[in-house]
Amino acid sequence: MSRPRILAGAALCAALCTAFAGALPAQSSLSARGLGYPLEPLTARARALGGAEAALPEPALSLVNPAAVVGLPAGGFSVTFQSDGFTPEGDDADETTTTRFPAVQVAFPFGERAVLTVGYAAFLDQNWRVEREDTLDLSSGRTPVVDRFAASGGVARFRAGGGYRVLGRLDVGATIDVYTGALRDTLVRFIRDFETTRLGADYRWQGVGLTGGARWRGEAFSVGASLSAGGTLEVEPRDSAAGGKSYTLPVTFNAGASARVAQQLLVAASLRWQGWSAADGELAESGGARDALSAGGGIEFEGFSLLGRRAPLRLGARMTQLPFRDDAAGTEFADERALTGGLGLQFAGGQANLDLAGEIGRRGGDTAGLDESFWRVSLSLSLLSR
């Protein structure tokens, strides 16, 4: 594929993702906590490996470590789709499923040392709603009422930057991160036989941050790390009826390592720390925030083939602390734990890769204000223009 063609494809993909970014679906009731449910811009391969993306050995499109793209032999793009489902514990347990685009990225190599990248990924999911039935005592009698509040929207992160090979085995990268998003609050009161009350408020999110990363690739061992930091995430109403608010963006540190322990067996692990406690004071009224740690790892076996093609098998596990707490008294922060696995398929000598990942886990607990099982399926398609 020529470079113009792949640019056209990337533009289409970016347009699609932009169109859908305002309607990111929800992730459990956690979307109602704090600033929403934090979303990780992981590829399906990394998902299958327990979230370990910071230090995979070969060059790859990554929105976790900007140094990971160094060494791409040709321009390429990657898009990841994700579908989730969760089932709350309890008598009224109903499964809810959602689908989203967590990430899309395009890369353009310049020479053998430099690669420019542009990416767009969901950052916070704020889709949720709550419903309540009640009655009103009116002069015409007791009248049933249903109130419904719905929040719809989220924050996404547009990331542009590049990577550079500073030494034979050491790559570095840096990006500028632009946070953008929209949120619409809808509050409806249905009163039987009366006119319905509909109230709405629209908000706009914006912020700027920076990310830097590095990766060292050995013969059989790689390590990598990235650090993101920013100023504030601003939310402003689109009307003048209320004021806006600012939240401190967290410092995020990703570190990982991978080792080829056998010719066809890769082991990878990663750690992520997000300093959300910087926003604890700003979120005090809605439950507060904490620093959140996430750790995971997995193995990749490359000795498997499917339909005559290389089909790496992956297994992993991860644990993630969720940063926002429910505002109900006595509620603790929630954690997520999941077993992960997946399969890759390579086409055209590795120019096209299709990766599938699945997760099964639980989140919450007795004191977390929620207790639910969940599953997640991710699908990534990456193409190189060589």
Q: Binding to another protein (CB under 8 A): which residues in 338-367?
A: 347-348, 351-352, 354
Write the interaction track for another protein spanning residues 258-277; mark x where CB under 8 A is met and - where it is not: --------------------
152 binds another protein (CB under 8 A): yes
136 binds another protein (CB under 8 A): yes
User: Minimal CA–CA distance to 72: which of 110, 122, 109, 100?
Assistant: 109
Distance CA 378, CA 70 (A): 24
Asked if 345 and 309 count as a contact pair (C-beta separation under 8 A), the reply is yes
Write the interaction track for another protein spanning residues 232-261; mark x where CB under 8 A is met and - where it is not: ---x-----xx-xx----------------
Distance CA 69, CA 229 (A): 20
13 binds another protein (CB under 8 A): yes
Beta carbon of residue 373, minimum distance to another protein (angstroms, whole number): 14
Residues 287-326 that bind another protein (CB under 8 A): none
Binding-site member from 14, 21, 32, 44 for another protein (CB under 8 A) = 32
- Cβ of 31: how many Cβ atoms within 10 Å? 23
Count of residues that bind another protein according to CB under 8 A: 72
Q: Which stretch binds another protein (CB under 8 A): 46-54, 55-63, 136-144, 166-174?
A: 136-144
Binding-site member from 286, 331, 346, 373 for another protein (CB under 8 A) = 286
- Please state whether beta strands 37-38 and 370-384 pair in parallel, antiparallel, or not at all (unpaired): unpaired
Q: Which amino acid is at 233?
A: L
Torsion (CA) 327, 332, 334, 337 in degrees, nearest 10 = -170
Binding-site member from 291, 327, 332, 371 for another protein (CB under 8 A) = 327
Asked if 70 and 168 count as a contact pair (C-beta separation under 8 A), the reply is no
Residue placing its CB nearer to another protein in the complex, 55 or 283: 283
Binding-site member from 2, 139, 240, 263 for another protein (CB under 8 A) = 139
Phi, psi (5° rounding) for residue 226?
-145, 155
The DSSP element (H or E) to which 3 belongs, if any, is helix 3-21
